[in-house]
């Protein structure tokens, strides 16, 4: 899939920004994010990957989630890509240390072509883990992710929510802090996933765990 020139320019700008952000922080990313990227392991447990199934993570970062999925689902075929070459340096190192067979590539979430990169164009499970809140054109990325899911597959997304059960002060504190890292929780995530599910003859399961701190949806 070839991106339009305007999309390619936008992708280049996002890549530069992400590489700049993670050039140093990638070394401490997993240790510093563990306390507040809540729901990632819950999502992995809920993937229910079929034996030998193909799994794709969009925005794989350090590879932490793919490694967890590989240990949770032995025999699964695991793939991931990220726009940041800096993050992929850490991901490749972590994957090598894990001993798991995980294939990685660099690409943009809005138009990445897995058939060219990996030799397969569709997957049993595709997921986003705390990435949609960092992707400028997140609705396009979400739709593209669903297009890569097999007919009987699932698309999942976990990300920051709006702290409905924690109150406005907690939300203001969390979202103000996240904005320093160019992270913007998506208020319309459920509505957009519901629209995509309906348009594609699928169903949506959606919840807001940890009193709304997180959002977790699966299009089945």
The tokens for 8 are 């390619």
Domain count, the chain: 1
Count of CA atoms in the C-beta half-sphere (13 A) of 99: 2
Of 149, 146, 174, nearest to 159 by C-alpha is 174
DSSP 3-state assignment of 9? helix
What's the pLDDT at 23? 60
Cα gap 5→9, rounded to integer Å: 6
| Domain containing residue 81: CATH number | 3.40.50.150
Residue 217 reports pLDDT greater than 60: yes
Angle formed at CA 138 by CA 120 and CA 3, multiple of 5 degrees: 55
Residue 76's nearest CA partner among 3, 127, 10, 25 is 127
Per-residue confidence (pLDDT) for residue 29, from 0 to 100 = 53
Quote the pTM value. 0.88
The strand pairing partners of 109, in sequence order, are none
Instruction: Tell me which residue range forms the domain holding 163.
Output: 5-219
Pairing assessment for the beta strands 149-160 and 123-129 based on DSSP bridges? parallel
pLDDT at 6 over 50: no
Between 74 and 16, the more confident residue is 74
Report pLDDT digits (tens) over 96-150. Answer: 999 999 999 999 999 999 999 999 999 999 999 999 999 999 999 999 999 999 9
What is the tens place of the pLDDT at every residue in 31-79? 556 555 788 999 999 999 999 999 999 999 999 999 999 999 999 999 9
Identify any residues that bridge with 62 across adjacent strands, giving them in sequence order. none
Q: Is the pLDDT of residue 15 over 70?
A: no
Closest CA to 125 of 70, 182, 61, 206: 70
């Amino acid at each position: 899939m070839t991106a339009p020139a305007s999309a390619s320019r936008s992708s280049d700008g996002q890549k530069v920004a992400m590489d700049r952000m993670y050039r140093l922080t990638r070394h401490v990313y997993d240790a510093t994010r563990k306390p507040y990227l809540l729901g990632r392991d819950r999502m992995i447990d809920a993937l229910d990957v079929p034996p030998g199934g193909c799994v794709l993570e969009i925005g794989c970062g350090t590879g932490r989630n793919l490694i967890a999925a590989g240990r949770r689902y032995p025999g699964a075929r695991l793939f991931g890509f990220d726009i940041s070459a800096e993050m992929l340096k850490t991901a490749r190192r972590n994957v090598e240390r894990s001993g798991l067979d995980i294939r990685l590539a660099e690409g943009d979430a809005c138009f990445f072509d897995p058939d060219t990169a990996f030799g397969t164009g569709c997957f049993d499970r595709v997921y986003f883990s705390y990435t949609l809140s960092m992707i400028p054109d997140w609705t396009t990325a979400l739709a593209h992710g669903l297009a890569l899911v097999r007919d009987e597959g699932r698309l999942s997304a976990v990300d920051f929510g709006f702290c409905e059960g924690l109150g406005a002060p907690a939300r203001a504190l969390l979202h103000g802090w996240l904005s320093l890292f160019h992270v913007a929780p998506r208020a319309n995530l459920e509505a957009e996933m519901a629209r995509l599910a309906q348009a594609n003859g699928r169903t949506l399961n959606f919840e807001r765990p940890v009193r709304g701190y997180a959002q977790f949806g699966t299009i089945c």
